[in-house]
């Protein structure tokens, strides 16, 4: 019987957990992962400054400000604005 046939037979019999070469205790906590040390950036990049917010005192100004906003890719698929 090949390995695949043996595996299919075990699944038929209701096996729902694979066993490994070494015993494993499910009651002991998992070992902690090794901490990851972050590298320092090779060069400092100045953050880009966002444009100041636009004051909209009426609906026409608000609509124009929303039409000119390019900061969100959702705009390409949106069917209407709120």
pLDDT category at 8 given cuts 50, 70, 90 is: very high
Residue 9's pLDDT band, with cuts at 50, 70 and 90, is: very high
What's the predicted TM-score (pTM) here?
Answer: 0.33
CA distance 54 to 66: 10
Nearest to 56 by CA among 67, 48, 41: 67
Whether 82 shows a pLDDT value over 70: the answer reads no
CA distance 48 to 63: 26
Q: Has residue 57 got a pLDDT over 80?
A: yes
Q: What are the backbone angles phi and psi of residue 27, rounded to the nearest 5°?
A: -90, -20
Whether the Cβ atoms of residue 65 and residue 56 lie closer than 8 Å to each other: yes
């Amino acid at each position: 019987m090949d390995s695949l046939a043996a595996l299919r037979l075990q699944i038929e019999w209701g096996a729902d957990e694979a066993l490994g070469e070494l015993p494993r205790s499910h009651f002991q906590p998992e070992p902690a992962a090794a901490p990851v040390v972050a590298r320092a950036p090779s060069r400092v990049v100045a953050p880009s400054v966002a444009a100041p917010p636009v004051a909209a005192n009426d609906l026409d100004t608000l609509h124009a400000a929303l039409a000119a906003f390019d900061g969100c890719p959702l705009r390409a698929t949106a069917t209407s604005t709120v």
